[in-house]
């Protein structure tokens, strides 16, 4: 039998932010659906584009309203959208290997 992880900090962060905040939820769903598309050999699907667009629209509303701008869930959402853009861009925007040249 394998090792069982009883304490998973990423699961706790997800439960704390993404399951309680609409912006964080849509951002995480956007990342998950983009990953699901890439596993299937696609760059995007209708689902991944929907969640990305929804997450960006909700983030824009929040930032323009000034409400909850400094909230941890907002920061989590921005970070998740940033990961989506950096990890799933063709070609990647930068490479650590290029710094060695």
Q: What would the pLDDT profile of 11-21 be if each residue is shown by its tens digit?
A: 777 777 777 88
- Crossing angle of helices 22-39 and 46-65, rounded to 10°: 160
- pTM, to two decimals: 0.71
Q: Where would I find the H helices in 40-71?
A: 46-65
Give the pLDDT confidence score for residue 97 in this predicted structure.
52
Give the pLDDT confidence score for residue 90 in this predicted structure.
58
Give the pLDDT confidence score for residue 91 in this predicted structure.
56
Give the pLDDT confidence score for residue 53 in this predicted structure.
93
The parts of the chain modelled with pLDDT lower than 70 are 1-2, 5, 88-101
CA angle 88, 16, 69 (to 5 degrees): 70
Question: Which of 88, 95, 73, 77 shows the shortest CA–CA distance to 36?
Answer: 88
What are the structural domain ranges in the chain? 22-99
Give the pLDDT confidence score for residue 54 in this predicted structure.
94
């Amino acid at each position: 039998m394998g090792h069982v992880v009883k304490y998973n900090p990423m699961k706790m962060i997800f439960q704390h932010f993404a399951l309680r905040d609409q912006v964080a939820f849509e951002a995480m769903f956007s990342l998950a659906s983009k990953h699901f598309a890439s596993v299937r050999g696609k760059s995007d699907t209708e689902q991944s584009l929907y969640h990305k667009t929804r997450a960006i629209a909700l983030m824009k509303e929040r930032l323009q309203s000034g409400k909850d701008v400094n909230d941890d869930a907002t920061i989590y959402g921005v970070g998740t959208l940033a990961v989506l853009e950096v990890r799933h861009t063709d070609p990647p925007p930068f490479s650590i290997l290029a710094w060695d040249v």
